[in-house]
């Protein structure tokens, strides 16, 4: 299975918007793509991330495919399990299911959940799923004050697990950006810290469809 695993420094930083735009960019290149959110929480009643991804690749049924983890509470899977909710179960089985769903596609685009070390259960994190899938890992980070430490932490955690980061996406999520001086230097500092990891800046946009050009650049970086 070829493709990308989209993880992040945390929740709400733009994984779904980027992954949707990546799927759209793949489709525009005439590729078949399966964009999948294997673990989604806060599903009340719809898996909104999974639906956005599925629509971007023109296959709505991917969002509700059996064998994916869905839970109502907007919490990490381990927190849900501790409250008596569903547990994720075997990550190998989940990885196998993702491969099956992507079988007829040229590329899989898989969105993680939250940040790189979201606990799946007492022992495992979402990074363990990334390792099993062995796709090209992309870290999305919010281009705002604090992102340097968040990104260094995320990359170190992934590397410790032998997952190499293929690109960092600095995403302009915040609205009041004028006051944040860090936005002018974050990319430079990260480029110094990670000379071998391409860093892509994504501007503030109105919708994921405005991110397709940036996503297309990312496809070029990933050679997809």
Ligand X SMILES: Nc1ncnc2c1ncn2[C@@H]1O[C@H](COP(=O)(O)OP(=O)(O)OP(=O)(O)O)[C@@H](O)[C@H]1O
Q: Which residues form the catalytic set? A: 37
From candidates 15, 70, 97, 183, binder to ligand X by CB under 6 A: 15
What's the sign of the alpha-carbon dihedral 142, 211, 180, 195? positive
9 touches Mg ion (CB under 5 A): no
What's the rounded Cα separation, in Å, for the pair 69 and 89?
Answer: 9
Among 82, 205, 217, 221, binds ligand X (CB under 6 A): 205
Q: Pick the closer one to ligand X by CB: 15 or 166.
A: 15
CB atoms within 10 A of CB 164: 11
The pair of three-digit structure tokens given for residue 37, joined into one six-digit string: 């959110």
172 binding ligand X? (CB under 6 A): yes
Q: Which is nearer to ligand X, 30 or 45 (CB)?
A: 45
Comparing CA positions, the residue from 5, 11, 3 lying closest to residue 141 is: 11
Using an 8 Å Cβ cutoff, are 162 and 191 in contact?
A: no
- Identify what 97 binds: ligand X, Mg ion, none; CB under 5 to 8 Å per kind: none
Q: Residues 92, 95, 96, 98: what is their CA dihedral angle, to the nearest 10 degrees?
A: 160
- Give me the least distance between CB of 17 and ligand X, in Å please: 4
Q: Which does 88 bind (CB under 5 to 8 A by kind): ligand X, Mg ion, none?
A: none
Residue 7 sits in the site that holds Mg ion (CB under 5 A): no
Asked if residue 142 binds Mg ion (CB under 5 A), the reply is no
Name which of 74 and 96 has its Cβ closer to ligand X.
Answer: 74
Q: Does 78 bind ligand X (CB under 6 A)?
A: no
- The sign one gets for the Cα dihedral 220, 221, 223, 224 is negative
Number of residues that make up the chain: 224
Instruction: Please choose which of Mg ion, ligand X, none residue 58 contacts, taking the beta carbon within 5 to 8 angstroms, the exact cut-off set by kind.
Output: none
Nearer to Mg ion, 79 or 189 (CB): 79
């Amino acid at each position: 299975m070829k493709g990308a695993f989209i993880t992040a420094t945390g929740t709400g930083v733009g994984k779904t918007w980027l992954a949707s735009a990546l799927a759209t960019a793949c489709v525009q290149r005439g590729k078949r793509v399966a964009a999948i959110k294997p673990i989604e929480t806060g599903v009340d009643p719809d898996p909104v991330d999974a639906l956005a991804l599925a629509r971007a690749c023109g296959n709505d049924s991917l969002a509700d495919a059996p064998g994916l983890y869905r839970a109502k509470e907007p919490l990490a899977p381990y927190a849900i399990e501790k409250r008596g909710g569903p547990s994720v179960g075997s990550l190998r089985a989940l990885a196998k299911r993702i491969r099956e769903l992507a079988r007829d596609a040229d590329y899989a685009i898989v969105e993680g959940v939250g940040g790189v070390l979201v606990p799946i259960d007492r022992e495992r994190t979402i990074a363990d799923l990334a390792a099993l899938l062995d796709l090209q890992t992309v870290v999305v980070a919010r281009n705002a004050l604090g992102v340097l430490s968040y990104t260094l932490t995320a990359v170190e955690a992934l590397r410790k697990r032998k997952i190499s980061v293929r690109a960092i996406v600095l995403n302009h999520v915040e609205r009041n950006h004028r006051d944040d001086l860090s936005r002018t230097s974050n990319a430079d500092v990260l480029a110094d810290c990670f000379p071998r990891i391409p860093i892509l800046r994504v501007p503030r946009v109105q919708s994921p469809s405005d991110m397709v050009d940036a996503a297309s650049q990312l496809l070029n970086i990933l050679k997809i």
